[in-house]
Amino acid sequence: MLYVSFPSLKDPALAARADAKHTAEVVTFVRYADFEALKHDMERVLLRQLLARLPKLAPLFDFVELSTPLSTEHFVRPAQGSIYGLEPTPTRFANRALRPRSM
């Protein structure tokens, strides 16, 4: 699974400029224990997968950096890279106290 986002496109003034430079984020999930050993391989594979689907992006890259939960751990110090909240398990979704509700 890949999640692709272009956060810099949220700025209408920047998105309208012909000479604008944009930021792309590609997110995927892998086991925490493998991150350090696989980081460079993951970067290469993710970039290859992204460009296989969106090849016109290739000439737009000036710099590529893979951010993993190890990166997040270094900068934010969450528990084992858990920046996305509670684990999405059936038990969690069955917990009525954690369900959304309107007031």
pLDDT of 53 reads: 95
pLDDT less than 50: residues of the chain: none
* pLDDT at position 50: 93
Q: pTM higher than 0.75, yes or no? A: no
pLDDT confidence of residue 80: 61
State pLDDT tens for residues 85-97.
677 788 888 888 8
Which residues, 6 or more positions from 8, have their beta carbon under 8 angstroms from its beta carbon? 14, 15, 20, 21, 22, 23
